[in-house]
């Protein structure tokens, strides 16, 4: 493993992570010890508050696990407080067009002049970094992932991918299939995913995908997807416990 998460994404490395849905730092610590490349704390579909994020962010730093967050809401005012905690970046659901993607980038990059600036939080070593150094460090390392999971977004892929501050377009296959009115899985969904991959390749922007099973990764990686979120901490626990009971009961 070399470089920070953003550098690795832009270099096209194969990166494997998971969602974290349990609001305790121990899950972060465990997943860091097993060597995940990153994890996404799922504030969109789990009850995780800012104070809990604070402890989880601290745990991530202790084991060298880059953490991102995703959460609900059309606004972007939730982004800066999480980056202040020292998260590596954000994954923003339901980005529909260029205007929405630009709004996300405004909330992340100090260079755009709209994010509140103070090196006093953890991300600035509690004031240990100068303002210029802090600004440059954050802008160089913070990851911007926008989720493509609405049928209408498929008509704006080139516009979204053209934004230089976008690091990755992440495909949410469940919501995308629901928006399209097709099955999950289905040939129609696969075609839409391949359309997103093609837009990413054209613009030189990385593409990510959620998969429920690691067995799906090689085929999609061969088609050009380089970052995968596979399941969640809860899914991993449930699968392991189910296998334990099946083995124990014969």
Task: Give the pLDDT band of residue 74 (cuts 50, 70, 90).
Answer: confident
Contact 15, 9 (CB under 8 A): yes
Closest by Cα among 146, 143, 145 to 156: 146
Reported pTM: 0.97
7, two tokens: 């550098």
Q: Say what the pLDDT of residue 153 is.
A: 98
Q: Say what the pLDDT of residue 73 is.
A: 84
Mean pLDDT of 184-198: 98
Concatenating the DSSP letter of every residue in 180-247 gives HT--SS-HHHHHHHHHHHHHHHHHT-EEEEEESSGGGHHHHHHTT--EEEEEEHHHHHHHHHHHHHHH
- pLDDT tens digits, residue range 126-179? 999 999 999 999 999 999 999 999 999 999 999 999 999 999 999 999 999 999
- pLDDT tens digits, residue range 21-48? 999 999 999 999 999 999 999 999 999 9
- We report the CATH number of the domain holding residue 166 as 3.20.20.60
Cis bond leading into 185, ω under 30°? Answer: yes
**Host domain of residue 34:** 5-248
Q: Say what the pLDDT of residue 131 is.
A: 98
pLDDT at 2 over 70: no
**CB neighbour class for 218 (10 Å; exposed up to 12, middle 13-18, buried from 19):** exposed
Task: Report the C-alpha gap between 218 and 91 in whole angstroms.
Answer: 23
Contact 223, 194 (CB under 8 A): yes
Task: Give the pLDDT band of residue 63 (cuts 50, 70, 90).
Answer: very high
Q: Say what the pLDDT of residue 72 is.
A: 87
Q: List alpha helices for the chain, DSSP H.
A: 5-10, 25-33, 50-63, 79-84, 98-108, 131-141, 157-161, 173-180, 187-203, 217-222, 233-248
Closest by Cα among 88, 89, 86, 76 to 121: 86
Q: Say what the pLDDT of residue 1 is.
A: 42
Contact 166, 205 (CB under 8 A): yes
The overall average pLDDT reported for the chain is 97
**Total domains present in the chain:** 1
Q: Say what the pLDDT of residue 79 is.
A: 98
pLDDT at 249 over 50: yes
Task: Report the C-alpha gap between 61 and 226 in whole angstroms.
Answer: 24
- pLDDT tens digits, residue range 8-19? 999 999 999 999
Contact 162, 129 (CB under 8 A): no
Task: Report the C-alpha gap between 52 and 62 in whole angstroms.
Answer: 16
Q: What is the DSSP letter of 110?
A: G
């Amino acid at each position: 493993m070399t470089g920070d998460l953003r550098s690795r994404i832009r270099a096209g490395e194969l990166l494997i992570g998971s969602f974290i849905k349990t609001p305790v730092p121990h899950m972060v610590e465990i997943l860091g010890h097993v060597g995940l490349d990153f994890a996404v704390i799922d504030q969109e579909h789990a009850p995780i508050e800012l104070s809990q994020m604070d402890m989880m962010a601290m745990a991530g730093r202790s084991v060298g696990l880059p953490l991102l967050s995703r959460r609900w809401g059309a606004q972007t005012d939730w982004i800066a407080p999480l980056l202040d905690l020292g998260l590596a970046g954000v994954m923003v659901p339901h980005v529909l067009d260029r205007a929405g993607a630009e709004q996300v980038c405004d909330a992340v990059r100090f260079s755009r002049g709209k994010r509140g600036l103070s090196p006093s939080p953890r991300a600035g070593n509690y004031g240990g970094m100068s303002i210029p150094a802090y600004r440059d460090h954050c802008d160089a390392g913070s990851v911007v992932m926008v989720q493509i999971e609405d049928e209408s977004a498929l008509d704006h892929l080139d516009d979204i991918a053209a934004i230089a501050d976008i690091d990755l377009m992440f495909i949410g296959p469940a919501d995308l299939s629901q928006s399209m009115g097709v099955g999950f899985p289905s040939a129609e969904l696969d075609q839409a995913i391949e359309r997103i991959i093609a837009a990413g390749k054209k613009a030189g922007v990385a593409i990510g995908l959620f998969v429920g099973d690691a067995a799906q990764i090689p085929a999609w990686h061969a088609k050009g997807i380089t970052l995968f979120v596979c399941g969640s901490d809860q899914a991993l626990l449930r699968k392991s416990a189910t296998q334990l009971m099946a083995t124990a009961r014969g």
